[in-house]
Amino acid sequence: MDIERFVDDCVTANTEADAQAAVLEVLERAVHRPRAMLQAVGEPTLADIDVMHRSKTLTIFSATWTPQMNLMPHNHLMWANIGIYTGREDNIMWRRTPDGIEASGATCLFEGDVAALSVDAIHSVTNPLRRFTGGIHIYGGDFFDTARSLWNPETLEEEPSDGDVIRRIFERENEQIGK
């Protein structure tokens, strides 16, 4: 697995008419052999967001989740593609209602699996395993410079979020495991 070539292929695919589908094809090929991606990015040891590419039209990073880490419901306000290269990621899908949000489905991603999330998707994420999970996350915009929302996990009240809020959540997870 050549990470530079992977990123270049994603950037090129992002210029296609259906950018999300084209980028998803590149991601599917990349995580089809999850061990090769794991070797390329390294064994996860922290909750981390390792940025591979960031521009106004595309963000690519490796996200690693600590054992049994949870991320409350959140949106991205841009399309997202996720591919798992180690571990497992469980997603609860949410939808807006007149009273807030409610759960509307779930999906489990195992090593080698990919998922495409629409611009209006709201999801929460759990690593149900007692080991780290790693995935490649690709967004159709600047993930870190987009104001969006997350929902309080106890009250489901909507709150502001952005890349800095998410990074602080990952930092707290590392503190909890003593890293």
Note the pLDDT of residue 76.
96
Handedness of CA 126, 131, 135, 141 (dihedral sign): positive
Long-range Cβ contacts of 147-150 (<8 Å, 24+ apart):
148/74, 148/75, 148/76, 148/77, 149/74, 149/75, 150/72, 150/73, 150/74, 150/75
Is pTM beyond 0.85? Reply is yes
121-179 confidence digits (pLDDT tens): 999 999 999 999 999 999 999 999 999 999 999 999 999 998 888 889 999 999 988 87
Top-level class of domain 3-176: mainly beta
Note the pLDDT of residue 164.
87
Note the pLDDT of residue 151.
96
Note the pLDDT of residue 11.
98
Alpha-carbon Rg for the chain in angstroms:
15
Enumerate the domain spans of the chain.
Answer: 3-176
